[in-house]
Protein backbone atom coordinates (compact mmCIF):
# COMPACT_ATOMS: atom_id res chain seq x y z
CA UNK A 1 0.00 0.00 0.00
CA UNK A 2 1.26 3.54 -0.71
CA UNK A 3 2.73 5.18 2.38
CA UNK A 4 0.34 8.16 2.37
CA UNK A 5 -2.79 6.49 1.05
CA UNK A 6 -5.69 8.99 1.13
CA UNK A 7 -3.95 11.35 3.56
CA UNK A 8 -4.67 15.03 2.96
CA UNK A 9 -1.45 17.04 2.74
CA UNK A 10 -0.74 20.74 2.25
CA UNK A 11 2.61 21.78 0.79
CA UNK A 12 3.52 25.46 0.77
CA UNK A 13 6.15 26.93 -1.52
CA UNK A 14 5.18 24.21 -3.97
CA UNK A 15 5.66 25.96 -7.30
CA UNK A 16 9.29 24.83 -7.67
CA UNK A 17 12.22 23.03 -6.06
CA UNK A 18 11.73 21.05 -2.86
CA UNK A 19 8.07 21.96 -2.54
CA UNK A 20 7.07 20.89 -6.03
CA UNK A 21 8.97 17.61 -5.81
CA UNK A 22 7.51 16.86 -2.39
CA UNK A 23 4.00 17.44 -3.71
CA UNK A 24 4.69 15.07 -6.60
CA UNK A 25 6.03 12.36 -4.29
CA UNK A 26 3.18 12.80 -1.80
CA UNK A 27 0.67 12.28 -4.61
CA UNK A 28 2.58 9.26 -5.91
CA UNK A 29 2.38 7.83 -2.39
CA UNK A 30 -1.41 8.11 -2.44
CA UNK A 31 -2.00 11.51 -0.83
CA UNK A 32 -4.46 14.20 -1.81
CA UNK A 33 -2.24 17.28 -2.12
CA UNK A 34 -3.07 20.96 -1.83
CA UNK A 35 -0.18 22.96 -3.26
CA UNK A 36 0.28 26.60 -2.29
CA UNK A 37 2.46 29.35 -3.67
CA UNK A 38 2.42 32.94 -4.87
CA UNK A 39 3.04 32.26 -8.57
CA UNK A 40 -0.26 31.46 -10.29
CA UNK A 41 1.05 30.13 -13.60
CA UNK A 42 3.65 27.86 -11.98
CA UNK A 43 1.12 26.62 -9.43
CA UNK A 44 -1.40 25.73 -12.11
CA UNK A 45 1.33 23.88 -13.97
CA UNK A 46 2.06 21.78 -10.87
CA UNK A 47 -1.65 21.09 -10.43
CA UNK A 48 -1.96 19.95 -14.04
CA UNK A 49 1.18 17.81 -13.89
CA UNK A 50 0.10 15.94 -10.76
CA UNK A 51 -3.52 15.54 -11.83
CA UNK A 52 -6.73 14.76 -10.01
CA UNK A 53 -5.11 14.24 -6.60
CA UNK A 54 -3.87 17.85 -6.56
CA UNK A 55 -5.33 21.34 -6.25
CA UNK A 56 -3.48 24.66 -6.30
CA UNK A 57 -4.37 27.59 -4.05
CA UNK A 58 -2.58 30.88 -4.70
CA UNK A 59 -1.26 31.85 -1.27
CA UNK A 60 1.12 34.38 0.22
CA UNK A 61 1.95 32.57 3.44
CA UNK A 62 3.14 35.76 5.13
CA UNK A 63 -0.48 37.00 5.12
CA UNK A 64 -2.68 35.51 7.84
CA UNK A 65 -5.93 35.86 5.91
CA UNK A 66 -4.47 33.94 2.97
CA UNK A 67 -3.20 31.15 5.23
CA UNK A 68 -6.67 30.93 6.79
CA UNK A 69 -8.17 30.72 3.31
CA UNK A 70 -5.77 27.92 2.34
CA UNK A 71 -6.75 25.90 5.40
CA UNK A 72 -10.45 26.60 4.83
CA UNK A 73 -10.22 25.50 1.19
CA UNK A 74 -8.59 22.24 2.21
CA UNK A 75 -11.22 21.52 4.85
CA UNK A 76 -14.06 22.34 2.47
CA UNK A 77 -12.59 20.01 -0.14
CA UNK A 78 -11.50 17.10 2.05
CA UNK A 79 -12.88 17.57 5.57
CA UNK A 80 -9.56 16.87 7.28
CA UNK A 81 -5.85 17.72 7.18
CA UNK A 82 -3.28 15.02 7.89
CA UNK A 83 -0.04 16.84 7.07
CA UNK A 84 1.13 20.41 6.64
CA UNK A 85 4.58 20.88 5.12
CA UNK A 86 5.61 24.47 5.84
CA UNK A 87 8.17 24.67 3.05
CA UNK A 88 7.81 28.20 1.67
CA UNK A 89 10.98 30.23 1.87
CA UNK A 90 13.22 32.66 0.11
CA UNK A 91 16.44 34.65 0.34
CA UNK A 92 17.41 37.03 3.12
CA UNK A 93 19.79 40.02 3.24
CA UNK A 94 23.46 39.15 2.88
CA UNK A 95 26.49 40.93 4.32
CA UNK A 96 27.74 41.83 7.77
CA UNK A 97 25.41 42.69 10.63
CA UNK A 98 26.18 46.37 10.21
CA UNK A 99 24.77 46.35 6.64
CA UNK A 100 21.39 44.67 7.23
CA UNK A 101 18.43 46.84 6.16
CA UNK A 102 15.54 46.70 8.62
CA UNK A 103 12.98 46.27 5.84
CA UNK A 104 14.95 43.33 4.42
CA UNK A 105 15.20 41.76 7.88
CA UNK A 106 11.47 42.11 8.45
CA UNK A 107 10.58 40.71 5.01
CA UNK A 108 12.86 37.70 5.50
CA UNK A 109 11.45 36.95 8.94
CA UNK A 110 7.92 37.16 7.55
CA UNK A 111 8.70 34.68 4.77
CA UNK A 112 10.86 32.27 6.75
CA UNK A 113 9.41 32.40 10.27
CA UNK A 114 6.03 34.13 10.40
CA UNK A 115 4.74 31.82 7.65
CA UNK A 116 5.62 28.76 9.73
CA UNK A 117 3.91 30.22 12.80
CA UNK A 118 0.78 31.05 10.79
CA UNK A 119 0.58 27.60 9.23
CA UNK A 120 0.87 25.92 12.61
CA UNK A 121 -1.53 28.38 14.24
CA UNK A 122 -4.35 27.65 11.82
CA UNK A 123 -3.88 23.92 11.34
CA UNK A 124 -3.33 23.09 15.02
CA UNK A 125 -6.99 23.34 16.09
CA UNK A 126 -8.06 21.08 13.24
CA UNK A 127 -5.43 18.42 13.90
CA UNK A 128 -6.02 18.64 17.66
CA UNK A 129 -9.74 18.02 17.13
CA UNK A 130 -8.91 15.06 14.86
CA UNK A 131 -6.49 13.69 17.44
CA UNK A 132 -3.90 13.17 14.71
CA UNK A 133 -1.70 14.98 12.25
CA UNK A 134 1.85 15.78 11.26
CA UNK A 135 3.33 19.25 10.84
CA UNK A 136 6.67 19.33 9.03
CA UNK A 137 8.61 22.59 8.98
CA UNK A 138 11.49 23.20 6.61
CA UNK A 139 14.55 24.19 8.62
CA UNK A 140 18.19 24.23 7.53
CA UNK A 141 21.59 23.20 8.78
CA UNK A 142 22.21 26.98 8.76
CA UNK A 143 19.79 27.09 11.70
CA UNK A 144 22.06 24.99 13.90
CA UNK A 145 25.54 25.94 12.60
CA UNK A 146 26.92 29.36 11.72
CA UNK A 147 28.52 29.83 8.32
CA UNK A 148 26.24 27.59 6.25
CA UNK A 149 24.27 30.35 4.56
CA UNK A 150 25.16 33.44 2.58
CA UNK A 151 22.88 35.29 5.01
CA UNK A 152 23.16 35.40 8.78
CA UNK A 153 19.54 36.58 8.85
CA UNK A 154 18.46 33.42 7.01
CA UNK A 155 20.41 31.39 9.58
CA UNK A 156 18.77 33.20 12.49
CA UNK A 157 15.30 32.70 11.02
CA UNK A 158 15.89 28.98 10.51
CA UNK A 159 17.22 28.64 14.07
CA UNK A 160 13.96 30.19 15.23
CA UNK A 161 11.96 27.76 13.07
CA UNK A 162 13.74 24.79 14.61
CA UNK A 163 13.14 25.97 18.17
CA UNK A 164 9.55 27.09 17.54
CA UNK A 165 8.96 23.59 16.16
CA UNK A 166 10.22 22.02 19.39
CA UNK A 167 8.03 24.32 21.47
CA UNK A 168 4.93 23.55 19.40
CA UNK A 169 5.74 19.82 19.51
CA UNK A 170 5.62 19.86 23.31
CA UNK A 171 2.14 21.39 23.20
CA UNK A 172 0.55 19.57 20.28
CA UNK A 173 2.08 16.19 21.02
CA UNK A 174 -0.39 15.93 23.90
CA UNK A 175 -3.13 15.79 21.23
CA UNK A 176 -1.26 13.20 19.16
CA UNK A 177 -0.17 15.88 16.68
CA UNK A 178 3.50 15.59 15.76
CA UNK A 179 5.66 18.60 14.86
CA UNK A 180 9.13 18.13 13.36
CA UNK A 181 11.64 19.89 11.15
CA UNK A 182 13.68 18.75 8.20
CA UNK A 183 17.02 20.55 7.96
CA UNK A 184 18.50 20.28 4.46
CA UNK A 185 22.17 20.68 3.73
CA UNK A 186 23.38 21.64 0.27
CA UNK A 187 20.40 20.81 -1.96
CA UNK A 188 20.67 21.66 -5.67
CA UNK A 189 17.84 24.14 -6.13
CA UNK A 190 17.51 27.72 -7.27
CA UNK A 191 17.81 29.13 -3.76
CA UNK A 192 21.53 29.82 -4.18
CA UNK A 193 20.94 31.90 -7.28
CA UNK A 194 18.06 33.76 -5.61
CA UNK A 195 20.23 34.54 -2.60
CA UNK A 196 22.80 36.13 -4.88
CA UNK A 197 20.26 38.22 -6.74
CA UNK A 198 19.22 36.18 -9.79
CA UNK A 199 15.63 36.39 -11.01
CA UNK A 200 13.38 33.45 -10.11
CA UNK A 201 13.56 32.10 -13.67
CA UNK A 202 17.34 32.32 -13.92
CA UNK A 203 17.78 30.98 -10.40
CA UNK A 204 15.76 27.85 -11.17
CA UNK A 205 17.88 27.27 -14.27
CA UNK A 206 21.05 27.53 -12.16
CA UNK A 207 20.23 24.51 -9.97
CA UNK A 208 22.17 22.08 -12.14
CA UNK A 209 25.25 24.30 -12.16
CA UNK A 210 25.65 24.25 -8.37
CA UNK A 211 25.85 20.45 -8.16
CA UNK A 212 29.60 20.31 -8.78
CA UNK A 213 30.40 22.61 -5.89
CA UNK A 214 27.88 21.03 -3.55
CA UNK A 215 29.34 17.58 -4.19
CA UNK A 216 32.52 18.62 -2.38
CA UNK A 217 30.87 19.87 0.81
CA UNK A 218 30.19 16.63 2.67
CA UNK A 219 31.38 13.02 3.00
CA UNK A 220 28.66 11.74 0.64
CA UNK A 221 30.27 12.79 -2.66
CA UNK A 222 27.29 14.29 -4.44
CA UNK A 223 24.99 17.25 -4.17
CA UNK A 224 21.81 16.92 -2.19
CA UNK A 225 18.72 16.45 -4.34
CA UNK A 226 15.14 17.57 -3.93
CA UNK A 227 14.18 13.89 -3.74
CA UNK A 228 16.28 13.54 -0.59
CA UNK A 229 14.09 16.08 1.17
CA UNK A 230 10.86 14.83 -0.38
CA UNK A 231 11.47 11.32 0.90
CA UNK A 232 12.28 12.63 4.38
CA UNK A 233 8.99 14.53 4.28
CA UNK A 234 7.14 11.35 3.28
CA UNK A 235 8.57 9.60 6.34
CA UNK A 236 7.51 12.39 8.70
CA UNK A 237 4.06 12.66 7.09
CA UNK A 238 3.46 8.91 7.26
CA UNK A 239 2.43 6.68 10.13
CA UNK A 240 5.96 5.22 10.07
CA UNK A 241 7.12 8.20 12.17
CA UNK A 242 4.28 7.98 14.68
CA UNK A 243 6.65 8.25 17.68
CA UNK A 244 8.83 11.01 16.22
CA UNK A 245 8.04 14.44 17.70
CA UNK A 246 10.05 17.61 18.25
CA UNK A 247 12.87 16.22 16.12
CA UNK A 248 15.13 18.02 13.65
CA UNK A 249 15.79 15.54 10.85
CA UNK A 250 19.08 16.63 9.28
CA UNK A 251 19.47 15.61 5.62
CA UNK A 252 22.92 16.86 4.69
CA UNK A 253 25.18 13.97 3.64
CA UNK A 254 27.10 14.41 6.89
CA UNK A 255 28.31 17.98 6.38
CA UNK A 256 27.72 19.11 9.98
CA UNK A 257 29.10 15.88 11.44
CA UNK A 258 32.59 17.31 11.73
CA UNK A 259 35.78 17.63 9.76
CA UNK A 260 35.94 15.43 6.66
CA UNK A 261 38.23 12.38 6.93
CA UNK A 262 40.48 12.79 3.89
CA UNK A 263 41.46 16.47 4.43
CA UNK A 264 42.10 15.67 8.08
CA UNK A 265 44.41 12.79 7.18
CA UNK A 266 46.23 15.01 4.70
CA UNK A 267 46.78 17.54 7.50
CA UNK A 268 48.10 14.81 9.78
CA UNK A 269 50.56 13.73 7.09
CA UNK A 270 51.69 17.34 6.76
CA UNK A 271 52.31 17.57 10.51
CA UNK A 272 54.25 14.32 10.47
CA UNK A 273 56.45 15.67 7.68
CA UNK A 274 56.97 18.94 9.55
CA UNK A 275 58.06 17.01 12.67
CA UNK A 276 60.26 14.64 10.68
CA UNK A 277 58.14 11.65 11.66
CA UNK A 278 57.87 8.82 9.13
CA UNK A 279 54.59 7.15 8.18
Q: What is the pTM of this model?
A: 0.92
Q: Which of 56, 85, 154, 192 is catalytic?
A: 154
Per the domain annotation, does 2 fall within a domain? no
What pLDDT is stored for residue 271 in this prediction? 87
What pLDDT is stored for residue 211 in this prediction? 84
What pLDDT is stored for residue 25 in this prediction? 98
Active site (annotated) includes residue 148: no
Per the domain annotation, does 3 fall within a domain? no
Number of domains in the chain: 1
**Cβ contact 91:195 at 8 Å:** yes
Backbone φ, ψ for residue 128 (5° rounding):
-65, -40
Per the domain annotation, does 91 fall within a domain? yes
Per the domain annotation, does 237 fall within a domain? yes
What pLDDT is stored for residue 180 in this prediction? 98
Q: What is the residue range of 201's domain?
A: 8-275
What pLDDT is stored for residue 208 in this prediction? 79
Per the domain annotation, does 224 fall within a domain? yes
Question: Tens of pLDDT along 156-183?
Answer: 999 999 999 999 999 999 999 999 999 9
Per the domain annotation, does 89 fall within a domain? yes
> What CATH number is given to the structural domain containing 65?
3.40.50.720
Per the domain annotation, does 1 fall within a domain? no
What is the strand order of the sheet 83-86 is part of? 54-58, 32-37, 8-11, 83-86, 133-138, 177-184, 248-251
Low-confidence stretches of the chain (pLDDT < 50) are none
Amino acid sequence: MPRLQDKVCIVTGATSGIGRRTAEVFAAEGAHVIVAGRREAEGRAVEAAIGARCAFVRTDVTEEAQVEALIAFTMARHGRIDCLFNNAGGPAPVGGIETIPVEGFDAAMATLLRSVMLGMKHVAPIMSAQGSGSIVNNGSIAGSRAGYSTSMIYSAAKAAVIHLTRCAAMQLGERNVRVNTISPGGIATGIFGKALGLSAEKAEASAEAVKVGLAKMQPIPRAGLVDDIAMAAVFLASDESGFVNGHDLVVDGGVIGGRMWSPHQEAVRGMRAAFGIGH
